[in-house]
Amino acid sequence: MRRVTLGRLAAGLLALGLVLLVAGAALGGNGVTRSPAWSNSGGWGSSGFMGPGMMGGGMLGNGSAMGQAMGSALAGRVGQPISQAEATALGSATPAGATVDQAAKRITFGSSDVRFAVLASPSDGPDLTFRIAGLTNPTIVVPRGATVTVELVNADPDMSHNWALVSGSGPLPYMSMMAGPAFAGASAAPLGDPTSAGLPSETLSFTASTAGTYTYLCQVPGHAEQGMYGTFEVTGS
């Protein structure tokens, strides 16, 4: 597992900010800069990121354009590049200590050390989905208190993606996708397009401290709505 340095994360977030400014300007508005929620948003995935200005600018329903702009702007800036072969292997590997039920599309972890890799939208799979242990958007089950380490790889040739865990389950209303992570640390910075150096990867980790049903999803606008999400269960009491 690799760690993304704070410096790299900061660089990525700065680049994202530039993208948002450019996107806002391109739409003929200044939705990002005028959003008062930005200053108290606490992160790119919170309400400030998708303030009313952005929503009113035609972004809703046009997530691909946003994701593509972010993908090219962030290319080579966030995460550590890995080879296509390594990414492919990560996408199909059965995580240590996990039981994979192919038919039920369910991955159950028995121990409190949970580690798995996530391929975002691999080009040889359904568009705008996650691949984990060879499955598309599987349900992931972990015991309460587990330390969860996720390696995210952007396998999409021309689109930015991230991975975050939020409260609640089922198809989510658009705005609720922009909620903060369910647990501290349970969200990744958006990754850019793969480059000649490889596919960008980053690692996040969090403690699944409260039992319940959660949703993992991509927070790039429009992506979860189009199917880039799955169920995450924390069992126990």
* Binding site residues, Cu ion, CB under 5 A: 161, 218, 220, 223, 228
| Smallest distance, Cu ion to C-beta of residue 222, A | 8
Q: Helix axis angle, 63-74 relative to 6-26, nearest 10°? A: 130
| Smallest distance, Cu ion to C-beta of residue 154, A | 9
| Smallest distance, Cu ion to C-beta of residue 128, A | 6
Query: Nearest-CB residue to Cu ion?
Result: 218
Instruction: Using the minimum distance from each CB to Cu ion, give the nearer residue, 182 or 220.
Output: 220
Instruction: Using the minimum distance from each CB to Cu ion, give the nearer residue, 121 or 149.
Output: 121
| Smallest distance, Cu ion to C-beta of residue 223, A | 3
Instruction: Using the minimum distance from each CB to Cu ion, give the nearer residue, 62 or 209.
Output: 62
Instruction: Using the minimum distance from each CB to Cu ion, give the nearer residue, 68 or 112.
Output: 68
| Smallest distance, Cu ion to C-beta of residue 92, A | 20
Instruction: Using the minimum distance from each CB to Cu ion, give the nearer residue, 7 or 173.
Output: 173
Classify each residue of 200-220 as buried b or exposed e, where b means 16 or more C-beta atoms within 10 Å of its C-beta. bbbbbbbebeeeeebbbbbbb
Instruction: Using the minimum distance from each CB to Cu ion, give the nearer residue, 115 or 223.
Output: 223
| Smallest distance, Cu ion to C-beta of residue 224, A | 8
